[in-house]
Amino acid sequence: MKSSFRLAAHGLATCFLLGVLAGCATTQINSQWKNPNFSGQSLISDRVLVACKARDETLRRLCEDQWLVKLGARGVSVVRSYSLAGFPPVATATPDVIRLAANDNGSRTVVVMELTSSDISVVNPGPQLGVGVGGGSGGYHGGGFSFGGLGISLPIGGATVTQGMASTTTVVDTASGALVWSANASTAADVNVAEQVSALTKTNVDELIKAGLF
């Protein structure tokens, strides 16, 4: 009876954990806004300047490359900010500087994507050493004691933490400086940051398509 109960409890715990992980494993748009003045206007035939704000240059370039791939597949001509001579680090570039760069290279639209760490994190425990004692007995001065089923687990390696990633994306009309579209998105914790960037970019592009802008 006890064995059956333990198996049932373990099964429920496993199902619960899998459910939680499945819920965290999606990449999604959490909120978005579209300027009603741009309804029905597609940007698919226009050149787009993409600038990504990230914690380091590698992540910035991975991000802008993903926009090139995903928008390029839709027939959009994409200019990556890191390919422009003299373009400052995106983290220090003001909206006016970005718009000026867009005007200079003929980009009617500017996409700015800021990547940050999200609130989602997963702790991956390191390997553990297990010690089990099936049973035993001992005594002193006529007294005695007994124990059984004792198990001890000792960590032998450090745990690692993987962090989720979030993005804030804005689409701006270069000529007027008007905000056309904006959205916040998040993705699951993963050790592969390139996959996180790819997932966030795809989700944003898919929503832009749904909004009729690409």
Residue that wins the pLDDT comparison between 39 and 127: 39
User: CA 192, 195, 197, 201: dihedral to nearest 10 degrees?
Assistant: -170
Confidence class for position 11, pLDDT limits 50, 70, 90:
very low
For residue 42 the two structure tokens come to 């597609």
The rounded percent of the chain whose pLDDT value lies above 90 is 51
Angle between helices 57-72 and 193-210 (to 10 degrees): 40
Backbone torsions φ then ψ of 87, nearest 5 degrees: -70, 130
The domain locations on the chain are 27-121+162-210, 124-155
Is the per-residue pLDDT at 117 higher than 50? yes
Question: Is the per-residue pLDDT at 93 higher than 60?
Answer: yes
Helix/strand/coil for 104:
helix
Sort 156 into a burial class: Cβ within 10 Å, 0-12 / 13-18 / 19+: exposed
The CATH-assigned architecture of domain 27-121+162-210 is: 3-Layer(aba) Sandwich (3.40)
Cα–Cα separations (whole angstroms), residue 134 to 146, 147, 152, 154: 11, 8, 12, 18
Q: What is the rounded average pLDDT for all residues in the chain?
A: 78
pLDDT of 144 above 70? no
User: Which two three-digit tokens encode residue 63?
Assistant: 């991000």
- pTM for this prediction: 0.71
| CA–CA distance, 151 with 137 (Å, rounded to integer) | 16
The pLDDT of residue 156 is 52
SS3 category, 120:
strand
β-pairing verdict for 109-124 and 128-140: unpaired
Q: Is the pLDDT of residue 66 over 70?
A: yes
What confidence category does residue 59 fall into, taking pLDDT thresholds of 50, 70 and 90?
Answer: very high
CB neighbour list of residue 119: distance below 8 Å, 6 or more residues apart: 164
Which SS3 state, helix, strand or coil, does residue 125 take? coil
Other C-beta atoms within 10 Å of 179: how many? 14
Summarize pLDDT for 156-201 with one digit per residue, the tens.
555 555 789 999 999 999 989 999 999 999 999 988 999 999 999 9
